[in-house]
Chains A and B, each alone.
Chain A
Amino acid sequence: MGFKKQVFLLLLLSVVTGTRVSAQTWVVPDDQKAVVAPMKFTPDMQKQGEQVYLKNCQSCHGLPGKDNWAKLTPPPGDLAKEKAQKQTDGEIFYRITTGKIPMPEFRNIIPEDDRWAVIAFLRSFNPKYVQPAPKALAAFTGRSVTLEMQYSDPMKKIVVTAHEKLKDNSNVPAAGIEVLLSVKRYFGSLQVGEMRTTNARGEATFEFPADLPGNNTGNVDLTARVNDPKSQMKTTPATGTFAIGVPTDRPGLTETRAWWSTRGNAPIWLLLTYTLSVIIVWGIIIYIVSSILKIKKLSTHG
């Protein structure tokens, strides 16, 4: 009886603590765990991975094997240690890709090949590591979609047309394609409106916001691309420049007259006040001197 109860309690305890721990840990889906690198890790790749690692990872994880990771909570840990190395390549890849606060999401920061290169670099610290054979890439069977973009003046809308190339090399309108429209900005591209799906004629229409600034003539550089996060299609994005933005030609911030500006751009009132005060002061001095001279003249005559 007592023994059974103990076993039961132990089981219960392990279940409870197990769920508690798993709620805090970072679970990687099984299909992602099984992912293997699509290429063989080479010394060149490790070198490239080292560069990427030093730029993006070292600030928190420190140098592999040196135990000099940043003191953060939860601890980033040394990636050359067993805890990190016992993960599959797919697991590490998933974690780099998706991130989990405080670990950043590198999906849009490090290209896929570079993420694999980082893994190649990390594996170079593990002498026991044997790379699983890359799966042979199956011949590409997905759809091949080309986008075209036009601005329809009467509708005041951007019309993106998707064409699909079939196996017999004929071009047909592609329906059900998810299209994203973005406008080029200095540091990246700004998505315009929501994602649209092409209709039976292969068209997706976007309304361009009336208040979005363009350059000094109102030109904006637009890019339409297919939303294909799993890279199942071969897609060609469409780009174009249209004069549909708000023409923006604001003067430089130093062009207006200001209190803090250099002499050339000082405020008029300041220039006037200064010049007047100089004239008045000199005027008074000259007046006094001339009066003194006059008095002297009078005294010598007397």
Chain B
Amino acid sequence: MEENNTTNFSNEDEKSKGSTRRNFLKNLGLAGVGVATGAAALYSGHIFEAKKEATGESKVLLTQDGKLVSVDSLEIKSHIKTGEELRESQGREGIPGRRWVMVTDLSHCRNARKCINACQDAHQLRPEQYHMNTLQMQDAPNTAPYNMPKNCQHCDNPPCVAVCPVDATFKRPDGIVLIENDRCIGCRFCMAACPYSARIFNWIEPKDAASHQGQDYNVELNVPQKLGTISKCLFSADRLREGKLPYCVEACPNGVYYFGDENEDAVTNGTTKETVRLSKLLRDNGGYQLMPELGTRPRVYYLPPKNRLFPFEEAKDATPEKV
């Protein structure tokens, strides 16, 4: 009966072929077979993995608490990380119990640019690339001009980290915002998000790239620099691990920078090596932050440029590079 129907209404049948119950069931069956095949493939893969693990020979090991256990040899992995792997995990974890903080005393800066040079040497930067730059500032026509060193503010609410799509730039528990240039895809969202213009991009082959080829990447130093990735101030995370002050802080001849741990309430001047209380220093000298209204909560504080002992013009002569 049904066959007759189809021959009689062949034209209509072609149009409505897709919607007959038989076809629907056929499609459902095909989909079901597809799913079953996929699941079977996954399952056999799983079985294979499990078999592989089980066939390894077992080894007898001594645990930390003195027990002898037998472990499949395939499951033995080195507990101690070395080289780049170690540096990467250290770089993500930071130094426990610390909250690094920097204080820049504007009244002392006379644009000697030693901080900039030390920084560029350490991070393999070209002379026109700045992690730390000294800006010449004048707030109003009749106020005293001053030099303002500006680096990454290592915000506690970092807009750059929020926009990074690949977790290449990240904040550490000790407050430092770092970059892992192996992950960086060069989208430059972070550059656009940073209100302090602290980030630079390697548009061209980094300085002496050929001679640094094959060098292990150090996330706490961000060297070797990589073409098409971001770089910025890292608070010299590698030096902090050794208990040393950052490159710029150490290099300053004029006592501009203080660096220390907020948890200890102490900062140390890079030039005089004098350690003072952070809270007292900020309170007594009118410490402030850059653009606090943005809610970025910077970890760099500034002391106002009062009692400047030298004129601005003199500082201009001290500038060795013209950019």
Report the bound CA distance from A104 to B175 in whole Å: 30
Report the bound CA distance from A191 to B275 in whole Å: 8
Report the bound CA distance from A254 to B157 in whole Å: 10
Whether A59 and B158, one on each chain, are in contact in the complex, defined by CB atoms closer than 8 angstroms, is no
Q: Please name all residues of chain A whose beta carbon is closer than 8 Å to the beta carbon of B171 when the two chains form the complex.
A: 253-254, 260-261
A59 to chain B, nearest CB (A): 6
| Pick from B112, B159, B266: contact of A186, CB under 8 Å | B266
Once A190-B276, A216-B97 are accepted as A-B contacts, the answer to whether A296 and B19 lie under 8 Å apart by CB is: yes
Report the bound CA distance from A284 to B268 in whole Å: 60
A182 to chain B, nearest CB (A): 8
**Total count of chain A residues near the partner, CB < 8 A:** 41
A224 to chain B, nearest CB (A): 16
Report the bound CA distance from A186 to B275 in whole Å: 10
Tell me whether B124 is interfacial, beta carbon within 8 Å: no
Tell me whether A169 is interfacial, beta carbon within 8 Å: no
Residue of A nearest to B173 (CB): A252
Tell me whether B272 is interfacial, beta carbon within 8 Å: yes
**Mask of B4-24 contacts with A, CB within 8 angstroms, 1/0:** 000000000000100111000
Tell me whether B251 is interfacial, beta carbon within 8 Å: yes
Contact residues, B164-206 vs A (CB, 8 A): 167, 170-175
| Pick from A60, A187, A255: contact of B253, CB under 8 Å | A60
Report the bound CA distance from A251 to B114 in whole Å: 35
Q: How many A-B residue pairs have CB under 8 A?
A: 114
Once A60-B253, A102-B253, A260-B158 are accepted as A-B contacts, the answer to whether A253 and B99 lie under 8 Å apart by CB is: yes
Tell me whether B320 is interfacial, beta carbon within 8 Å: yes
**Mask of A211-254 contacts with B, CB within 8 angstroms, 1/0:** 11101100000000000000000000000000000001111111
Whether B268 and A188, one on each chain, are in contact in the complex, defined by CB atoms closer than 8 angstroms, is yes
B250 to chain A, nearest CB (A): 10
**Mask of A65-84 contacts with B, CB within 8 angstroms, 1/0:** 00000111100000000000
**Total count of chain B residues near the partner, CB < 8 A:** 54
Whether A187 and B268, one on each chain, are in contact in the complex, defined by CB atoms closer than 8 angstroms, is yes
A98 to chain B, nearest CB (A): 12
Tell me whether B221 is interfacial, beta carbon within 8 Å: no
Q: Please name all residues of chain A whose beta carbon is closer than 8 Å to the beta carbon of B277 when the two chains form the complex.
A: 190, 212
Residue of A nearest to B254 (CB): A102
Q: Please name all residues of chain B whose beta carbon is closer than 8 Å to the beta carbon of A108 when the two chains form the complex.
A: 272-274
Whether B273 and A188, one on each chain, are in contact in the complex, defined by CB atoms closer than 8 angstroms, is yes
| Pick from A72, A211, A251, A296: contact of B112, CB under 8 Å | A72
Tell me whether A148 is interfacial, beta carbon within 8 Å: no
Whether B275 and A190, one on each chain, are in contact in the complex, defined by CB atoms closer than 8 angstroms, is yes
Q: Please name all residues of chain B whose beta carbon is closer than 8 Å to the beta carbon of A253 when the two chains form the complex.
A: 99, 156, 171-175
Report the bound CA distance from A260 to B158 in whole Å: 7
Question: Which of B49-57, B83-91, B256-264 makes up part of the contact surface?
Answer: B256-264
Report the bound CA distance from A262 to B171 in whole Å: 10
- With a 10 A CB-CB cut-off, give which of A191, A250, A260 has the most chain B CB atoms: A260
Q: Please name all residues of chain A whose beta carbon is closer than 8 Å to the beta carbon of B253 when the two chains form the complex.
A: 59-60, 102-104
Between A and B, 21 residue pairs with Cβ closer than 8 Å are A72-B318, A102-B112, A103-B253, A104-B255, A105-B272, A109-B273, A185-B260, A185-B264, A186-B260, A187-B244, A187-B267, A187-B268, A188-B273, A190-B276, A213-B264, A252-B94, A253-B156, A253-B172, A254-B173, A260-B158, A296-B19
Known: A189-B275, A248-B264. 6 other contacts (CB 8 A): A59-B114, A102-B112, A188-B274, A216-B97, A254-B172, A260-B159
9 cross-chain pairs, A with B, having the tightest CB-CB distances, nearest first: A252-B173, A260-B162, A187-B268, A185-B266, A188-B275, A260-B161, A190-B275, A188-B268, A190-B266
